[in-house]
């Protein structure tokens, strides 16, 4: 439906934004990298191979995008000769060589297939097929001819991509995506061979490193690493990356979809404690978006203000009913005078009107919320021990959860701010002013007023600063402290703190307090966690040991017998590492007979009814299938347990 479509488009929008951010980052690193490269070009004649070591962090899957866009970027702006190899496709020297050559020459064929038939084609066609030709000397020959041809094709290239002209001899870039996974021997050999050709071939290596730069030293002996001229590049850490994403997507009133504190905590928790993967975080975001727009019909109202107002006007009766049932709306109704309450509960037109009003106030609330949050963060993030968290997301979660000013941490933070030195406070306040001027809200007037006060502070301070520093002795310090309480700075500082306090108390109300907040906020953290960070084994074991959690009929009565597999599982929990099948079967038969309401003592040893036998067999093979037991040769008619204890 239109709703889904909307969700998709919003998702795409968000994704694009994030991808752009990423691309920007890559561009930056690439740019700095290529600045370097100019230096390297001058060193080309030396026998060292210029090498860029990119330290990218431990989450390998995230790197794929980085490498892809990097390759694209290099290809577009600098050189047509880029080959990217992964460890798993190059287990031996031969394969590595083959891949490198294939990629270098192959890409070229793609570019000018039509015109380069004559001499280029013969190399490119033959090389990948005839492995005999897979040598660096063949590559050199090919490179010579390719660069000779390059003046011919450069105009065409320029037309197509409007890039600055490629250098006279564009470098040949080989990217090793996951350096750690390469076999050291292969790498050493490759580098040794390449170093022999460095005079004819402007090679450049890029190492993708997940752990630390010392890996290179560990993998390559000195004799080999001395052939490389290594430059280190550190990518943005993934936590910073995450912080940017949260900052750009959540701490802004531009996007209306929000997480509740729990959901954000779950996703950040998965990030910090499981995978450090920004991609997964984004996936979580996509999922919650999807869930929100799929499961909350009122999410039509989660869009831009004008649109939302139009949507609110078009709400049908069912939607109005849904609004009336929202807990936040109900709270709102309770606060109204009785006549208004009646109106709100009966007239759908009235509800629509109020709804529009509430939506407006929701927008306004968010417009004020984030600047206030940022100001508070600026002030508290410099405090010792970070009482309100070092990262803005911590403060954000705190503010989402409850009234932040009621927490103990807030009190201590305020106390600490009251003790800030002048220059620290002034820098912070200046930052605050920047933030506030940046977000052009209606409050701005108020703030400019305030900013002038801050200017005052600046003025007032100059004489006192000299005063403070001139007296150094202890006695004087004491006296100074006493007098300082009365200094204009003190008074102003208190005023500032009071103002901030006031700001927080007026604007940092938790969103739950806002009527209709459910429309914007996605709060089902359980769903997110279940879908992203599932625990299949726990689920199976719960199902086995507590079947009634799943199996319930409408009447709420639980029949006495458990499913066969549960009985079998229970019995097997009591065993050691080996289980005697015969005993197991007997035990099962006893239970099953009793479950049927017969006297279990009626069965004689060795006489098990066929059906029970069959059911037992099925249950045991199911347990085997699930991986709880396996057959063993240690003893006849025994199976081995594969789990310990209850788990």
Give the footprint of other proteins on residues 360-419 (CB under 8 A). Answer: none
624 binds other proteins (CB under 8 A): yes
Interacting residues with other proteins between 302 and 341 (CB under 8 A): 325, 327
Closest approach of other proteins to the CB of residue 398, in Å: 14
Interface with other proteins (CB under 8 A), residue from 13, 247, 277, 505: 277
Q: Does 151 bind other proteins (CB under 8 A)?
A: no
**Category of 448 on φ-ψ map: left (φ > 0), alpha (ψ -120 to 50) or beta:** alpha
Between residues 41 and 65, which has the closer beta carbon with respect to other proteins?
Answer: 65
Stretch of residues binding other proteins (CB under 8 A), selected from 127-135, 463-471, 501-509, 593-601: 593-601
Q: Give the CA radius of gyration of the chain.
A: 35
Cα–Cα–Cα angle for 340, 346, 349, nearest 5°? 85
- Least distance (Å) from other proteins to the CB of residue 616? 8
Q: Which is nearer to other proteins, 270 or 432 (CB)?
A: 270
Q: Which of residues 14-43 bind other proteins (CB under 8 A)?
A: none
**Nearest CB to other proteins, comparing residues 448 and 643:** 643
Angle at 125 between CA 121 and CA 131, to 5 degrees: 140
Residues in contact with 528: Cβ distance below 8 Å, sequence separation at least 6, in sequence order = 263, 266, 267, 284, 287, 288, 291
Number of H helices, E strands in the chain: 27, 10
563 binds other proteins (CB under 8 A): yes
Using the minimum distance from each CB to other proteins, give the nearer residue, 286 or 341.
Answer: 286
Q: How far is the CB of 360 from other proteins (least distance, A)?
A: 23
185 binds other proteins (CB under 8 A): no
What phi and psi values does residue 207 have, to the nearest 5 degrees? -100, 125
**Contact present, 623 and 565 (Cβ < 8 Å):** yes
Answer whether 369's CB lies under 8 Å from 507's CB.
yes
Asked whether 261 and 400 are in contact (CB, 8 A), the reply is yes
The yes or no reply on residue 215 touching other proteins (CB under 8 A) is no
Residue numbers 571-590 binding other proteins by CB under 8 A? 571-590
Say if residues 310 and 356 touch (Cβ distance below 8 Å).
no
Smaller CB distance to other proteins: residue 382 or 626? 626
**CA pair distance 437, 425, nearest whole angstrom:** 18
Show the site string, 111-150: x = touches other proteins by CB under 8 A, - = not: ----------------------------------------
| Nearest-angstrom CA–CA distance, 631 and 123 | 59
Cβ at position 352, least distance to other proteins in Å: 21
- Beta carbon of residue 375, minimum distance to other proteins (angstroms, whole number): 22
Q: Under the criterion CB under 8 A, does residue 636 sit at the interface with other proteins?
A: yes
Shortest distance (Å) from residue 430 CB to other proteins: 22
Q: Would you count residue 9 as binding other proteins (CB under 8 A)?
A: no
* Cα 560-564-566 angle, rounded to 5 deg: 80
Q: Does 622 bind other proteins (CB under 8 A)?
A: yes
Q: Is 5 in the site for other proteins (CB under 8 A)?
A: no
By CB under 8 A, tell whether 644 contacts other proteins.
yes
Single out the residue of 11, 195, 430, 465 in contact with other proteins (rule: CB under 8 A). 11
Residue 256 to residue 444: CA distance in whole angstroms = 22
Are 278 and 245 a contacting pair, CB within 8 Å?
yes
Q: What distance in Å separates the CA atoms of residue 545 and residue 539, rounded to the nearest whole number?
A: 10
* Residue from the set 44, 93, 290, 460 that interacts with other proteins by CB under 8 A: 290
Own/partner pairs for 416-421, CB < 8 Å, 24+ apart?
416/383, 416/384, 416/387, 417/379, 417/380, 417/383, 417/497, 417/500, 418/493, 418/494, 418/497, 420/382, 420/493
- Decide if residue 283 touches other proteins (CB under 8 A): yes
Evaluate whether 245 touches 268 at the Cβ level (below 8 Å). Answer: no
Contact predicate 58/237, CB 8 Å: no
CB nearer to other proteins: give 189 or 586. 586
Is 593 among the residues that bind other proteins (CB under 8 A)? Answer: yes
Q: Binding segment for other proteins among 153-161, 248-256, 417-425, 599-607 (CB under 8 A)?
A: 599-607
> Is the Cβ of residue 152 or residue 534 nearer to other proteins in the bound state?
534
Question: Which one-letter DSSP state was computed for residue 237?
Answer: P
Q: How far is the CB of 4 from other proteins (least distance, A)?
A: 6
Residues numbered 486 to 545 that lie near other proteins (CB under 8 A) are 518, 523-527, 529-532, 534-545
Touching other proteins, residues 50-109 (CB under 8 A):
59-62, 64, 88
Candidates 153, 207, 168, 151; CA nearest to 184 is: 207
Instruction: Catalogue the long-range contacts made by 558-562 (C-beta closer than 8 Å, 24 or more residues apart).
Output: 560/595, 561/592, 561/595, 561/596, 562/595
When the beta carbons of 338 and 576 are compared against other proteins, the nearer one is 576
Q: Which of 14, 47, 296, 335 binds other proteins (CB under 8 A)?
A: 296
Considering only the stretches 444-452, 474-482, 489-497, 617-625, report the one whose residues sit in contact with other proteins under the rule CB under 8 A.
Answer: 617-625
- Cβ proximity to other proteins: between 258 and 422 the closer is 258
In whole angstroms, the minimum distance from the beta carbon of 605 to other proteins comes to 5
**Interacting residues of 351 by C-beta distance below 8 A, sequence separation 6+:** 320, 323, 324, 344
How many angstroms separate the Cα of 245 from the Cα of each of 254, 268, 296, 360?
A: 13, 12, 25, 26
Cα separation, 533 vs 129, whole angstroms:
46
Task: Provide, rounded to whole angstroms, the least separation between the CB of residue 63 and other proteins.
Answer: 10
Mention every residue, 6+ apart, whose C-beta is less than 8 A from residue 488: 460, 464
Binding segment toward other proteins, per CB under 8 A, in 40-48, 96-104, 270-278, 485-493: 270-278
User: Which member of 90, 124, 273, 454 binds other proteins (CB under 8 A)?
Assistant: 273
Residue among 229, 287, 382, 433 that touches other proteins (CB under 8 A)? 287
Least distance to other proteins, CB of residue 207, Å: 17
Long-range contacts of 87-92 (CB under 8 A, 24+ apart): 87/176, 87/177, 87/178, 87/179, 87/180, 87/181, 87/182, 87/183, 88/181, 90/182, 90/186, 91/183, 91/186, 92/186
Instruction: Decide: helix, strand or coil at residue 232.
Output: strand
For residue 624, the minimal CB distance to other proteins (Å) is: 6
DSSP state of 631: E
For other proteins, give the closer residue by CB, 292 or 493.
292
Residues 224-263 that bind other proteins (CB under 8 A): 234, 236-237, 239-240, 260, 262
Q: Is the dihedral of CA 297, 298, 299, 300 positive or negative?
A: positive
Count of residues interacting with other proteins (CB under 8 A): 136
Q: Which residue in 6, 8, 77, 121 binds other proteins (CB under 8 A)? A: 8
């Amino acid at each position: 439906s239109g709703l889904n479509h909307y969700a998709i488009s919003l998702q795409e929008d968000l994704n694009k934004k994030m991808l752009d951010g990423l691309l920007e980052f890559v561009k930056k690193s690439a740019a700095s990298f290529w600045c370097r490269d100019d230096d390297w070009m001058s060193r080309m004649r030396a026998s060292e191979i210029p090498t860029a070591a990119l330290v990218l962090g431990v989450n390998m899957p995230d790197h794929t995008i980085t490498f892809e866009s990097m390759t694209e970027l290099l290809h577009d702006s600098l050189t047509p000769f880029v080959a990217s190899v992964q460890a798993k496709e190059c287990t031996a020297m031969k394969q590595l060589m083959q891949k490198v050559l294939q990629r270098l020459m192959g890409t070229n064929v793609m570019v000018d297939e039509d015109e380069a038939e004559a001499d280029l084609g013969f190399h490119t066609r033959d090389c990948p097929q005839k492995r005999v030709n897979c040598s660096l000397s063949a590559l050199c020959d090919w490179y010579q001819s390719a660069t000779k041809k390059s003046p011919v094709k450069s105009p065409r290239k320029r037309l197509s991509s409007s890039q600055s002209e490629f250098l006279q001899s564009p470098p040949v870039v080989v990217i090793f995506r996951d350096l750690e996974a390469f076999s050291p021997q292969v790498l050493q050999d490759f580098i040794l061979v390449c170093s022999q050709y460095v005079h004819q071939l402007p090679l450049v290596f890029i190492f993708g490193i997940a752990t630390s730069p010392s890996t290179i030293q560990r993998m390559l002996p000195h004799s080999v690493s001395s052939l490389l001229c290594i430059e280190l590049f550190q990518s943005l850490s993934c936590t910073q990356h995450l912080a940017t994403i949260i900052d750009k997507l959540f701490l802004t009133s531009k996007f209306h979809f929000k997480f509740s504190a729990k959901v954000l905590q779950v996703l950040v928790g998965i990030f910090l404690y499981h995978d450090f993967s920004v991609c997964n975080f984004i996936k979580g975001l996509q999922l919650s978006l999807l869930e929100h727009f799929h499961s909350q019909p009122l999410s039509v109202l989660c869009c831009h203000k004008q649109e939302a107002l139009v949507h609110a006007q078009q709400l049908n009766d069912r939607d109005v009913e849904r609004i009336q049932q929202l807990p936040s709306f109900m709270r709102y109704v309770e606060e109204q005078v009785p006549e208004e309450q009646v109106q709100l509960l009966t007239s759908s037109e009235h509800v629509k009107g109020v709804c529009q009003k509430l939506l407006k106030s929701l927008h306004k609330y968010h417009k004020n919320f984030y600047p206030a949050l940022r100001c508070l963060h600026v002030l508290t993030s410099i405090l010792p021990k970070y009482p309100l968290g070092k990262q803005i997301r911590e403060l954000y979660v705190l503010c989402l959860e409850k009234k932040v000013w009621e927490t103990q941490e807030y009190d201590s933070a305020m106390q600490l701010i009251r003790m800030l030195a002048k220059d620290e406070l002034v820098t912070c306040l200046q930052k605050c002013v920047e933030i506030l001027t940046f977000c052009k809200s209606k409050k701005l007037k108020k703030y400019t007023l305030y900013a002038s006060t801050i200017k005052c502070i600046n003025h007032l301070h100059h004489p006192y600063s000299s005063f403070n520093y001139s007296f150094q002795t202890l006695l004087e310090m004491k006296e100074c402290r006493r007098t300082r309480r009365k200094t204009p700075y003190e008074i102003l500082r208190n005023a500032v703190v009071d103002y901030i306090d006031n700001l927080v108390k007026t604007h940092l109300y938790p969103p739950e307090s806002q009527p209709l907040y459910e429309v914007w906020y996605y709060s089902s953290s359980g769903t997110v966690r279940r879908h992203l960070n599932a625990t299949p084994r726990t689920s199976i074991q719960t199902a086995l040991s507590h079947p009634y959690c799943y199996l319930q009929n409408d009447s709420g009565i639980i029949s006495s017998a458990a499913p066969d597999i549960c009985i079998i599982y229970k019995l097997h929990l009591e065993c050691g590492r080996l289980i005697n099948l015969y005993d197991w079967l007997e035990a099962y038969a006893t239970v099953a007979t009793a479950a049927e309401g017969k006297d279990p003592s009626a069965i004689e040893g060795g006489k098990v009814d066929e059906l029970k036998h069959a059911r037992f067999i099925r249950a045991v093979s199911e347990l085997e299938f699930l991986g709880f037991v396996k057959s063993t040769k240690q003893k006849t008619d025994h199976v081995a347990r594969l789990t310990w204890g209850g788990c």
